[in-house]
């Protein structure tokens, strides 16, 4: 028979075991921390887990995410340029629905691209109990105080006054940003929407050499290192709270490998590909340092880490530091293909401009080393995070965002998304299952830096093939559009629009319906901020029949 002392200690032991079980269960069911890392101009083939033999740059951070998490091989941007793709991520809406505020100055002086009251990722996660932070490139516009009440530009910004319409006004608890890309002035950091340092110089950087206002100590090669240090501090400062039930969300927006191609001295000569390879390698190190910081603070088992890019690689970027026509071809001659085996680059409607590397690691939820070939878009982040955090979106929020949480549980599950609208600088494209429709006869890009065919040449050739100048009602004829079956033609070499006019008509009707409905997801009709849309872009003068 158990004596009273033994019985007493047995009860204590059972209580301790119960508390440990409850504690472990709570840890497993608590909301995960989330870090979203987005590169700038990183191509599908720049990432070793996607480029395969066509990739000659070591990317240990991306490799680790692929080994410990999931690769999405059919992930797409919404646009093949920076601002609209970032707007779609932040709002879960197609950017052509959204109206900005005010007139823009040049480059980093652009006006706010959406209104401060707009529902954002940060607001979603604030409501879910997260502490939120934003580190890196902003490029969604700021409202700056000027000395003359005119449009913000070189010479009239008061750098002693805080800005408005920045990350903090859109719901982020903390921010440390550059206004735009690394080759877009002003070259000044902002912490919580306050300018940092003394802006008393005029400088420019390699590639485009855009000379403009610069903080006195600002150096282009130090930017990634500065951002890495900010991220490490953010993780360290939130570690205790995260372990005690207050998770964090961090949006880490890199400025690389977008030009200027300027690796830190610590990374120069680290690859066999030259300065571009070194810069991509340093870009990848931003993943490495983030994962190390999580592990150091014991947060790696309860943190989702996502890595992707805003769109495809720039044709003017490479080992020549000045922005140069077809600079990318020099890398390809060395055996490295930034766009992988895909056609086209940044600015175009082709897959090289739109298809992006996408990796996600979520310990104890995603089976390591898995691959998903289902279609997803960058605009799907908001709906996915809403599902992960058990948050409810109202009918007017994230109207173009579809959750891919079911695919994280089972990569072979039925596709959650079957359609996606995308835009080049001079043309539109649309996915419907394996079909891709391009509403232009060429690359959908000006072609100044290497995308072909150029619009003027493509439209002229299309008119010749058609036999006459078209009316607007004839623009869906096969001469003026392109249709590809990506299941058997991922390189987009075989236009089958003439063989499938019914598919072209169906897809175009869906595009029109989704804009008119104010949403591309099920639900009640919404009103677009912008009332009209031109799906034909800039048709060269003299093409349309009178």
- Quick one: pLDDT at residue 488? 97
pLDDT by residue (tens digit) across 225-248?
Answer: 999 999 999 999 999 999 999 999
Confidence of residue 5 (pLDDT cuts 50, 70, 90): very low
Report the DSSP beta bridge partners of residue 202: 213
Q: Is the pLDDT of residue 15 over 80?
A: no
Q: Is the pLDDT of residue 417 over 60?
A: yes
Confidence of residue 18 (pLDDT cuts 50, 70, 90): very low
Distance CA 226, CA 292 (A): 16
Report the DSSP beta bridge partners of residue 428: 423
| Closest by Cα among 425, 370, 384 to 84 | 425
- Quick one: pLDDT at residue 19? 41
Cβ atoms within 10 Å, residue 487: 9
Distance CA 259, CA 278 (A): 13
| Closest by Cα among 400, 458, 384, 398 to 424 | 458
Question: What CATH number does domain 31-421 carry, 3.30.160.270, 1.10.490.10, 3.10.180.10, 3.40.720.10?
Answer: 3.40.720.10
| Closest by Cα among 23, 200, 193 to 116 | 193
Q: Is the pLDDT of residue 26 over 70?
A: no
Q: Is the pLDDT of residue 21 over 60?
A: no
Residue 53 has φ and ψ, to the nearest 5°, of: -65, -20
Confidence of residue 6 (pLDDT cuts 50, 70, 90): very low
pLDDT by residue (tens digit) across 43-77?
Answer: 999 999 999 999 999 999 999 999 999 999 999 99
Distance CA 139, CA 123 (A): 19
pLDDT by residue (tens digit) across 267-296?
Answer: 999 999 999 999 999 999 999 999 999 999
Fill in the DSSP letter of residue 31: P
| Closest by Cα among 198, 200, 178 to 187 | 178
Distance CA 363, CA 27 (A): 12
- Quick one: pLDDT at residue 546? 75
Distance CA 220, CA 257 (A): 12
pLDDT by residue (tens digit) across 492-546?
Answer: 999 999 999 999 999 999 999 999 999 999 999 999 999 999 999 889 999 999 7
| Closest by Cα among 449, 414, 417 to 430 | 417
Q: What do you get for the CA distance between the two ends of the chain, in Å?
A: 104
**What are the tokens at 458?**
């493509």
Confidence of residue 117 (pLDDT cuts 50, 70, 90): confident
Contacts of 175 (CB under 8 A, 6+ apart): 133, 134, 135, 166, 167, 168, 190, 191, 192, 193
Distance CA 350, CA 491 (A): 9
For 52, 54, 174, 333, the CA distances from 330, given in Å and listed in that order, are 19, 14, 41, 5
Locate the domains of the chain by residue range. 31-421, 425-516
Confidence of residue 9 (pLDDT cuts 50, 70, 90): very low
Cβ atoms within 10 Å, residue 6: 10
Three-state SS for 357? strand
Name the burial class of residue 149, with classes exposed (0-12), middle (13-18) and buried (19+) by CB atoms within 10 angstroms of its CB: exposed
Distance CA 70, CA 183 (A): 33
Which alpha helices (H) appear in 307-450, and where do they start and end? 327-333, 351-354, 381-388, 405-409
pLDDT by residue (tens digit) across 131-181?
Answer: 999 999 999 999 999 999 999 999 999 999 999 999 999 999 999 999 999
- Quick one: pLDDT at residue 538? 86
Report the DSSP beta bridge partners of residue 252: 37, 135
Q: Which residues of 421-454 are buried (b: 16+ CB within 10 A; e: fewer)?
A: bbbbbbbbbbbbeebbbbbbbbbbbbbebbbbbb
pTM: 0.94
- Quick one: pLDDT at residue 376? 98
Yes or no: say if 231 and 205 are a contact pair by the CB < 8 Å rule: no
């Amino acid at each position: 028979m158990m004596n009273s002392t033994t019985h007493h200690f047995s009860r204590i032991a059972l209580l301790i075991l119960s508390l440990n079980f409850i504690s472990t269960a709570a840890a497993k069911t608590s909301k995960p921390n989330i870090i979203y890392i987005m590169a700038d101009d990183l191509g599908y083939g720049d990432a070793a887990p996607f480029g395969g033999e066509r990739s000659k740059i070591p990317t240990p951070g991306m490799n680790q995410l692929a080994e410990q998490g999931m690769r999405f091989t059919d992930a797409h941007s919404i646009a093949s340029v920076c601002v609209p793709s970032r707007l779609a991520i932040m709002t879960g809406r197609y950017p052509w629905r959204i109206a900005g505020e005010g007139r823009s100055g040049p480059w980093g002086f652009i006006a706010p691209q959406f209104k401060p009251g707009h529902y954002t990722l940060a607001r979603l996660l604030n409501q879910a109990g997260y502490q939120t932070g934003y580190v890196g490139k902003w490029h969604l516009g700021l409202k700056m105080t000027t000395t003359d009440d005119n449009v913000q530009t070189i010479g009239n910004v008061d750098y002693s006054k805080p800005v408005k319409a920045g990350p903090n006004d859109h719901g982020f608890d903390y921010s440390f940003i550059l206004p735009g890309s690394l080759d877009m002035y002003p070259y000044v950091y902002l912490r919580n929407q306050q300018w940092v340092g003394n802006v008393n110089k005029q400088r420019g950087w390699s590639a485009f050499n855009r000379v403009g206002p610069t903080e006195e100590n600002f150096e282009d090669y130090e930017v990634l290192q500065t951002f890495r240090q900010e991220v490490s501090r953010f993780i360290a400062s939130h570690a205790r709270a995260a372990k005690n039930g207050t998770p964090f969300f961090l949006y880490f927006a890199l400025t690389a490998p977008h030009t200027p191609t300027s690796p830190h001295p610590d990374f120069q000569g680290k690859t066999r590909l030259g300065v571009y390879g070194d810069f991509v390698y340093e870009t990848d190190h931003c993943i490495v340092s983030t994962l190390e910081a999580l592990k150091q603070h014991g947060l790696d088992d309860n943190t989702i880490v996502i890595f992707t890019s805003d769109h495809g690689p720039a044709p003017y970027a490479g080992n020549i530091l000045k922005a140069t026509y077809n600079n990318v071809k020099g890398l390809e001659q060395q055996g490295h293909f930034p766009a992988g085996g895909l056609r086209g680059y940044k600015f175009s409607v082709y897959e090289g401009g739109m298809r992006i590397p996408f990796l996600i690691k979520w310990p104890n939820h995603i089976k390591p080393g898995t691959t998903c070939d289902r279609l997803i878009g960058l605009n799907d982040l908001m709906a996915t995070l809403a599902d992960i955090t058990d948050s409810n979106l109202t009918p007017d929020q994230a109207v173009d965002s579809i959750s891919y949480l079911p695919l994280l549980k089972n990569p072979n599950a039925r596709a959650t998304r079957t359609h996606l609208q995308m835009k080049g600088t001079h043309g539109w494209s649309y996915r419907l299952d394996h079909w891709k429709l391009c509403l232009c006869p060429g690359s959908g890009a000006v072609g100044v830096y290497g995308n072909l065919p150029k619009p003027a040449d493509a439209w002229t050739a299309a008119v010749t093939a058609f036999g006459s100048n078209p009316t607007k009602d004839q623009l869906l004829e096969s001469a003026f559009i392109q249709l590809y079956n990506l299941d058997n033609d991922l390189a987009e070499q075989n236009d089958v629009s003439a063989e499938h006019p019914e598919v072209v008509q169906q897809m175009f009707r869906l595009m029109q319906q989704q804009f008119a409905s104010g949403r591309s997801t099920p639900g009640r009709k919404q009103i677009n901020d912008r009332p009209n849309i031109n799906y034909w872009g800039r048709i060269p003068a003299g093409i349309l029949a009178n």
